Structure 1
Amino acid sequence: MTHPGFGISLTWLLRLRWITAVGQTAAILAAKRLLPEELSIGPLLGLVAFGALSNAALMLRLRRPEPVRPALPGLVLGLDILLLTGLLYGSGGAANPFTAIYLVHITLAAVVMRGIWAWALGVLSISGFGLLFFYNVHVHSLAHMNHGGDDGISLHLVGMWVAFAITAGLIAAFVGLVTEALRRRDEELAALRDLTARQSRLAALTTLAAGVAHELGSPLGTIAVAAKELQRTAEGLGAPGASLAQDAALIREEVGRCRRILDQMAEPSGSNLGEPLQALSWGELEADLSEGLASEDRTRLAFQWPDAGCGPMPRRGLGRALRAVVANALEATPRPGSVKVVAREDQGAWLLEVEDQGTGMAPEVLARVGEPFFSTKPTGSGMGLGLFLARTFAEQLGGELRVESQPGQGTRVQLSWPQVARG
């Protein structure tokens, strides 16, 4: 696949190359009119025509559905530098005032390409300009003092080439740095917009969940009371009411399950804003993660904690986020397989990894992991909010959540957050 920016660069280059072809043709015709005896325009127009044909071929290439290779813009700019060198060779060489156009190509290379490509195109321009001092079709009217002669290349020409090389290097470096800074800024703004959108969805989700929990609380309470009375009446009937009593007990059990789900929804889902930091040890975090699990599931968890404590943390938010990840891992791992929970330090941050032994995820599923209400579980088995809330928690602390998975190789979820200085 190709970064979308390359498509934009090529579309922009196409337009610029058409404008350049028209400008070059006009300049050649004007020069021929001013210098009718000294300039041969046939080869020059041939080079311009070749550039125009290459631009037409490039237009046809962009219409195809196949992705554009990242190197294509660099190759196009390299071809333009060679064509410019050919045009200058046939019109006076280094004495031609249009040699300054090399700097335009160097600037374009620094804007469009990155790293070694920009410097390679700069070296190509410097080399082409240097060769024009030795190899060119002499145009007497364009020559002036110290631009060649019988005594060989002059210090003036050497100075011109050195000055050009220094200028080209400075332009490539400065424009490259500015362009890279702008790219990084755009990436940071895009990440910030994405984070803001997720925070907005979380706020809307929290408001909706609290409203739903409030509205459904009373009807569920009424159903629970009615089911209890029905069960009591059925049990009083003896054997004839046994089946009815079982049905009533099932209703009460499912109502209790709904109430637990509503209680979770009524909490400030995934948000740790405003929660005070408190000293937390890894042992306490292990106890929080094991809370509410069946004894069999507790034995399937394999914890590996570092020697140092994790320091001040929003305990409730961290526990809720990690419980969701651990619960998913336990469900994905066939019994009696184990789930590894490993914490470690990494450059001033804590990394906590939860690795299961499940079947892994397909790429299309992995691409949607963390979206709210997205779940691969059967209907009624989950709300699809666990990883979304875990990611939100990590980002609120300045960290992130990463998911690595391949079909048949299990899944690793990594939650990271910056360490807080111990008071």
Structure 2
Amino acid sequence: MIAASALSRLLKPVAPLLPTMSISDVADRLLTPEHKAFLSLPVVDAAERPVGLVSRSKLQDIFMQRFGRDLRGRHPIHEVMNPAPLVVSLDTSLDNAAKQITGQLQYPITEDFILVDAAGRYRGIGTVLDLLKAMEARIAQRNAVLRKALVDLKESQTQLVQSEKMASLGQMVAGVAHELNTPLGYVKNNVELLRELSAPLFLLAETQATLADCLNDPACSETDLAQALEQAASAREQAAPELLVEDLSQLFSDTLYGLGQIAELVVGLKDFARLDRAMSEEVDLNDCIRSALVIARNSIKDKAEVVSQLGELPRIACAPSQINQVLLNLLTNAAQAIDGFGQIQLKTWADEAAVFVSVQDNGRGMPPEVLARIFDPFFTTKPVGQGTGLGLSISFKIIQDHGGLIRVASEPGRGTRFLLRLPRAQAAELKWSA
């Protein structure tokens, strides 16, 4: 059957553990080359039915502790076993298996999932990464079918707008993902440092507790008391808590700063997409510019300095997600037009009839023959595969549907300036693009 064969391709016939094994036996097996790709190993009973999973993460937590292997290595594996692992039947469809696993998955991912036959007997291990790759291939196949269907249809304005939106979305998500990596990286490093710095403090607390127990125990001998005092003094010297105050304070501050950057990106992404807002609403275009700058930051930061002169603007009725799409397109185009490191100037102002946005760069500029065609669909000066030629064409249509105007001035070697004009009083009917 198709569903069974799809999951069978993910099956890894890993030899299971037995409940009689010790924690050290399991650790030694996980360290072997044939098991290095797995996050966990299954435990089965005499009837070959899975009874749990032992994760590499759990064992590391034990053996990274002081004397962890000596203290717990001989203990039975049920002490570290997850008795309720993810179990998937081989006759489950790939889609249903993905729903089942992602529905029960906990983060961070520290375990694999067990595959069983129709009778519930253990047959092997499946990894979440392999499942994601299989689902990615399935999605790729479905996308290929959808792309073929789009090619068979006549190109229409709605399809062109949607195509460019998808290109903008991919660019936006890639940029945000890249921007998230930096704060996530040093937050992770800081947490690891905090764990290292706190370990001597835990040891100090433990030795002081032992000393306190000895002092309160009339039966505690002078030898035991002397030993407890010596251990507490040694732990106190190693921990040096008075020296940690400044380090810990700085680590906490840096970590909170990193989390603040992540929160800023998430809020910026939400504001940019306006997923929780109505299609049309009254907004301040300065807010749209700030959201677009957050999303475009990865594309701009190594190319140009952004100089903003944002004037006080009245709120106007528009489709914010579409205006954000236009701004993102203009900002990324400006960055791509700069050789080396340059400058992008943003300026906003208003008069009695309209609000204005100016986006100006000091990049390569455009000759007259290129300038005359930049709003034509499919026209692009970028190499094949790096541009659709739809961005400015769709931006022009979006501004036009808002009753506004988009103008451009450019000179080779001096840069380019785009000017957006949006009326304060919108037309009675706006043709929102799909």
TM range (shorter): 0.3 to 0.5
- TM-score w.r.t. the length of structure 1 is 0.35
| Greater share of residues in strand | 2
Structure having greater relative contact order (Cα 8 Å, sep ≥ 6): 2
TM-score, L = length of structure 2: 0.34
User: Larger % of helix: which?
Assistant: 1
